[in-house]
C-alpha cells in the first residue's frame, strides 16, 4: 500500500508569482510531500504567465508538482506538463472537452492527468458522488481524483471507498481534521494550505503514532550499531546530491544522528564547541537530507544533501577548495561537460563578447539558430554514411553546440531534458 501524503495547495490566482515561488520552496523545506499549484483563470495572458512561473518553480523543487490549469484544448494539457510538472489537474465541468482529455492521456499516459470534483451535499449533509461520471472518467484514464467540500459521514466514507482510483481530499482543515481524512479508505493524500509555516515533520511523526503510514525518514540501523570513536562520534562525508561534489566533513553523535533523521536537516556534533550543531541555523545555509549511507565498516556515514548557499564558512560552496598537489589526468564526464558548455553559452547571452560566434547567433535570432540546427542534423546524416567515425564525432559535437544555443534561446536546460528522459523510462 502506498504511503499517505500531505500536499500543500497554493492558489496562484491570488498571489504574485515571486510569492508563489517562495512559498513552494518553503513548503518543500518544511517536509511537505507534494505541491498542488493552480490558476484556473482562463485568460490566455494570465495562463501564459502562470506557465512561466511554474517552470521556475519546478526548477527549484524536487517534490512532485500538480499543476492546475483550465483545459479547453489539448494544447493546454501539453503546455502544463511541458513545465515538468508531475501531473496536470483539470477542473471538471459539464462542458469539459473530453476529446482534449483523451488526447492528453494518449500523449502523456494514464498516470499524468488528475480531475477535481466537487462533492455534492445531500439533504442529510453528507457527501455523495456521481458514480457514473467517476466511472466514465476512470475509464478514460484519469490517474487520481481531487475531491473538494467533503463532509465526513458514513455515506461519504462509502462513496470515497467506492472510487477505484486514488483520492486526494482538498481541504483547508477548518471543519475536518487530517487524521480523519487520511484514515479514510482509498484516500492517499490530503491537499491543504493549513500547514504553511508549521512543523510538517512533527505532524508526520504524530500521524505515524496514529498508525497512519506517512513518508518520514527512517534509518535501517540504530546508531548503537555504528562503530564510533572514543568520544562516541562517527565522521560524516557530505556530498551534493546532484553534482556529487564533496562539500565537507563533520561528525555526528547519537543525538545528532537521531535529530537529523527526525528533522531532515543535517545536524552534527561540534567538537570545538562541544554542542549540537544544526548546519545553517546561523547562516541560513541549511543542508536537507536526500540520502544517508553507511560504509562497509559501519564507521563512516555518506550524506547526500541539498545544500542551500555555501557549505563552507569561508563562503566557498565546498570546503575542499585548496589544491595541494596534482597529477595530470582526464576527468571528462559527459554530463558535466555538457553542463559547463551550456553555462558558457548562457554567459555569452547574458554578457556578450565582441566577435563571438555564439553572440552572432543570438543576434540573428531564432530563425538563424534553427537553420543551423537543421544544417548540422543533415551533416550528421551524411557523416553516418561514411565509415570514418572521426567525421561523425565532429558533426555530432557541432550539432550539440548549436542545439545548446537553441536551448539557451528557448530557456531550456539540461535538467529539463534529463527529467523528461527519466519520465520516459517505462
Same domain, 391 and 285: no
DSSP letters along 338-382, please? HHHHHHHHHHHHHS--TT-HHHHHHHH-HHHHHHHHHHHHHHHHH
Q: What is the CATH number of the domain that holds 70?
A: 3.20.20.70
373: Cβ contacts below 8 Å, ≥ 6 apart: 399, 402, 403, 406
Alpha helices (runs of H) in 254-333, residue ranges in sequence order: 254-263
Q: Is residue 312, in this structure, part of any structural domain at all?
A: no
Q: What is the pLDDT of residue 127?
A: 59
Q: Is there a single domain that holds both residue 19 and residue 162?
A: yes
With contact defined as beta carbons under 8 Å apart, do 145 and 115 qualify? yes
DSSP string, 257-271: HHHHHHHSB-EEEET
Ramachandran sector of residue 197 (left: φ over 0; alpha: ψ -120 to 50; beta: rest): left
Please give the pLDDT value at position 386: 79
Q: Residue 259 sits in a domain of what CATH number?
A: 3.10.20.810
What is the number of domains present in the chain?
Answer: 3
- The CATH number given to whatever domain includes residue 410 is 1.10.287.1080
Grid coordinates representing 18 are 515571486
Going 40 to 43 to 47 to 49, the CA torsion angle's sign is negative
Task: Give me the pLDDT at residue 313, please.
Answer: 93
Domain that holds residue 36: 5-209
- pLDDT at position 156, please? 83
Q: Same structural domain for residues 231 and 201? A: no
Q: Which run of H or of E encompasses 229?
A: none
Task: Give yes or no for a contact between 201 and 33, defined as CB atoms under 8 angstroms apart.
Answer: no
Residue 122: predicted pLDDT: 58
d(CA 325, CA 163): 64
Q: What is the pLDDT of residue 261?
A: 96
Q: Which residues contact 272 (CB under 8 A, 6 or more apart)?
A: none
Residues of the chain with pLDDT under 70: 1, 120-128, 330-332, 425-426
Q: Do 346 and 205 lie in a common domain?
A: no
- State residue 121's pLDDT score: 57
**Cα distance from N-terminal residue to C-terminal residue, the chain:** 21
Residue 341 lies in a domain: yes
Contact in structure between 207 and 257 (CB atoms under 8 Å):
no
Q: Are residues 259 and 185 in the same domain?
A: no
Looking at the domain assignment, is residue 79 inside a domain?
A: yes
Amino acid at each position: 500500500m502506498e504511503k499517505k501524503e500531505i500536499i500543500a495547495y497554493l492558489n496562484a490566482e491570488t498571489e504574485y508569482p515571486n510569492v508563489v515561488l517562495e512559498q513552494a520552496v518553503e513548503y518543500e523545506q518544511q517536509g511537505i510531500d507534494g505541491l498542488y499549484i493552480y490558476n484556473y483563470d482562463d485568460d490566455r495572458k494570465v495562463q501564459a504567465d502562470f506557465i512561466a512561473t511554474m517552470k521556475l518553480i519546478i526548477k527549484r523543487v524536487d517534490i512532485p508538482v500538480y499543476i492546475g490549469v483550465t483545459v479547453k484544448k489539448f494544447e493546454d494539457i501539453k503546455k502544463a506538463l511541458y513545465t515538468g510538472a508531475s501531473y496536470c489537474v483539470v477542473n471538471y465541468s459539464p462542458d469539459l472537452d473530453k476529446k482534449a482529455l483523451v488526447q492528453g492521456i494518449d500523449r502523456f499516459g494514464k498516470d499524468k492527468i488528475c480531475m477535481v470534483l466537487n462533492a455534492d451535499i445531500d439533504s442529510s449533509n453528507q457527501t455523495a458522488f456521481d458514480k457514473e461520471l467517476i466511472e466514465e472518467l476512470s475509464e478514460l484514464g484519469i490517474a487520481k481524483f481531487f475531491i473538494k467540500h467533503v463532509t465526513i459521514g458514513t455515506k461519504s466514507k462509502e462513496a470515497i471507498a467506492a472510487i477505484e482510483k486514488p483520492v486526494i481530499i482538498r481541504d483547508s482543515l477548518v471543519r475536518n481534521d487530517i487524521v480523519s481524512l487520511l484514515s479514510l479508505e482509498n484516500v492517499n493524500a490530503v491537499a491543504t494550505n493549513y500547514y504553511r509555516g508549521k512543523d510538517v515533520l512533527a505532524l508526520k511523526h504524530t500521524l505515524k503514532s496514529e498508525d497512519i503510514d506517512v513518508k518520514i525518514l527512517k534509518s535501517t540501523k540504530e546508531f548503537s550499531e555504528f562503530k564510533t570513536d572514543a568520544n562516541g562520534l562517527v565522521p560524516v562525508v557530505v556530498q551534493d546530491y546532484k553534482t556529487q561534489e564533496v562539500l565537507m566533513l563533520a561528525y555526528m553523535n547519537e543525538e545528532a544522528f537521531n535529530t537529523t533523521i527526525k528533522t531532515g536537516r543535517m545536524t552534527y556534533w561540534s567538537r570545538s564547541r562541544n554542542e549540537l550543531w544544526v548546519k545553517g541555523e546561523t547562516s541560513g545555509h541549511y543542508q536537507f537530507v536526500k540520502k544517508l549511507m553507511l560504509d562497509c565498516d559501519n564507521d563512516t556515514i555518506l550524506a547526500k544533501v541539498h545544500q542551500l548557499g555555501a557549505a563552507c564558512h569561508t563562503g566557498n560552496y565546498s570546503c575542499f577548495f585548496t589544491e595541494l598537489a596534482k597529477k595530470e589526468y582526464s576527468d571528462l564526464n559527459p554530463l558535466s561537460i555538457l553542463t559547463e558548455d551550456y553555462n558558457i553559452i548562457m554567459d555569452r547571452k547574458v554578457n556578450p563578447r565582441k566577435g563571438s560566434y555564439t553572440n552572432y547567433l543570438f543576434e540573428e535570432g531564432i530563425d538563424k539558430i534553427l537553420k543551423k540546427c537543421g544544417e548540422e542534423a543533415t551533416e550528421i546524416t551524411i557523416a553516418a554514411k561514411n565509415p570514418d567515425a572521426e567525421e561523425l564525432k565532429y558533426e555530432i559535437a557541432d550539432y550539440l553546440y548549436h542545439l545548446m544555443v537553441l536551448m539557451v534561446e528557448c530557456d531550456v536546460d539540461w535538467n529539463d531534458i534529463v527529467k523528461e528522459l527519466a519520465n520516459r523510462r517505462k
